[in-house]
Amino acid sequence: MGIKNAKDKINAELDKDRYISSMKKLDEIMRDISQTVSEVSSKRCPYRNANDRCTAKFGCRNQNRNVQPNELFICQDDQKLDYRGAWEIESEI
What is the reported pTM?
A: 0.48
Are residues 18 and 2 part of one domain? yes
What are the distances in angstroms from CA 6 to CA 2, 16, 87?
Answer: 6, 15, 64
> Tens digits of per-residue pLDDT, 40-76?
777 778 888 989 999 998 988 889 999 999 999 999 8
Say how far apart CA 77 and CA 60 lie, in whole Å: 10
Q: Closest Cα to residue 86, out of 44, 37, 36, 34?
A: 44
Residue 67, domain extent: 45-93
Are residues 52 and 91 part of one domain? yes
Q: What is the CA 80 to chain-centroid distance, rounded?
A: 19
10's torsion region: left (phi>0), alpha (psi -120 to 50) or beta? alpha
Are residues 69 and 32 part of one domain? no
Are residues 37 and 17 part of one domain? yes
The angle formed by the CA atoms of residues 46, 51 and 55, to the nearest 5 degrees, is 45
Please, which pLDDT band fits residue 81 given cuts at 50, 70 and 90?
low
Are residues 28 and 58 part of one domain? no
